[in-house]
Copies of this chain bind each other. A is one copy, B any other.
């Protein structure tokens, strides 16, 4: 039976039944929710939105999956089918809620960047988890935890002295929602916060809670004045390989460098060289030019590198928060209040 008078909403990436149930219950008279976990790949870890890539639907399952997609007007994540465009898979498709913030490149790759499709992202959901990772890494380095671990293994007691976050200058490249969470916590620790922005309007700096904004053509000055540099910029043509040999050369010797943006924002060869030379004192990297990071990458064995397998934003509360956001957007969508849906991907700016 089809319920042609109801909005057809389909969950097309792994999601816990609890959250699917909340979505179904949010507007039971207005939506038909398609939630068929058995047609989706098993998850490899909690909050895995991709699922096991080696898993395949049987031909029967695939036919059913395609038939369901063909009915959907609203999707929870783009479907994992590289053989056809979202428009071919779902002719009625009008709105996709993604489970990631950085989907500008994906939407372009899917050929949807000039379409009227509404894409809502998770921008904002991952800000605090990513900020927690940034401060975990900053404090791990600043409070000499690697030294503590080595001393403990040796049963060796020797009092020592460390640096501190207070008084350091943090440069944020990309003061979006994630960058603003990082800035907020940095101020709490007594750090000075600088950031790259489209302009250096002091009023905008005040709104962002940032001590000083640097315009794009002041990138080198921003980097030169920082004790710690965090990349939290989206991947756009403008930010691709934004940080290369010249930018690393501008940084203070011993700088802390953290990338939670995308690997391609950095020239990885130049990064490796800056780590080898000691220009970068310590790097925490969540993203890489190629993921998974190849087993023979020199980054794995560098003593001044901490590698996170692109999981810095993955926390147990993630899907609950995305479902909350989806339900808010669903109510707007059902009411025809499309302008109130948020955060909507700007397909031209790609974030």
A300 with B152, Cβ < 8 A, contacts A292-B157, A309-B159, A314-B162 known: yes
Whether A128 contacts B166 by the Cβ 8 Å rule is yes
Please classify how large the interface on chain A is, using the bins under 10, 10 to 19, 20 to 34, 35 or more. 35 or more
- For the complex, give the distance between the alpha carbons of A132 and B185 in Å: 12
- For the complex, give the distance between the alpha carbons of A125 and B316 in Å: 37
- For the complex, give the distance between the alpha carbons of A257 and B163 in Å: 24
- For the complex, give the distance between the alpha carbons of A316 and B310 in Å: 34
Whether B162 contacts A311 by the Cβ 8 Å rule is yes
A129 at the interface (CB under 8 A from B): yes
**A132 smallest CB distance to B (angstroms):** 6
**A67 smallest CB distance to B (angstroms):** 31
Interface centre among A48, A135, A316 (most CB of B within 10 A): A135
A278 at the interface (CB under 8 A from B): no
A136 with B139, Cβ < 8 A, contacts A159-B44, A160-B314 known: yes
The 8 Å CB contact of A136, one of B47, B48, B140, B292, is: B140
Whether B129 contacts A164 by the Cβ 8 Å rule is yes
- For the complex, give the distance between the alpha carbons of A132 and B167 in Å: 13
Nearest B residue to A149, CB-CB = B306
Please, which residues of chain B bring their CB within 8 A of the CB of A190?
128
- For the complex, give the distance between the alpha carbons of A292 and B155 in Å: 10
**A75 smallest CB distance to B (angstroms):** 22
A336 at the interface (CB under 8 A from B): no
A128-B190, A184-B188 given; name 18 further pairs at CB < 8 Å. A46-B161, A48-B159, A128-B164, A128-B166, A132-B164, A132-B166, A139-B139, A148-B307, A151-B309, A157-B293, A157-B309, A160-B311, A160-B314, A161-B315, A161-B316, A161-B318, A162-B311, A164-B315
Q: Can you list 17 A-B pairs, Cβ within 8 angstroms, ordered by A?
A: A46-B161, A48-B159, A128-B166, A128-B189, A132-B165, A135-B135, A136-B139, A139-B140, A148-B307, A151-B307, A157-B291, A157-B292, A159-B311, A160-B309, A160-B311, A162-B315, A164-B317
Which A residues are within 8 Å of any B CB, using their own CB?
Answer: 44-48, 128-129, 132-133, 135-136, 139-140, 142-143, 145, 148-149, 151-152, 155, 157-167, 184-185, 188-190, 291-293, 295-296, 300-301, 305-312, 314-318
Q: Which 8 pairs, one residue from A and one from B, show the smallest C-beta to C-beta distance?
A: A136-B139, A157-B292, A188-B188, A46-B161, A136-B143, A155-B295, A164-B315, A155-B300
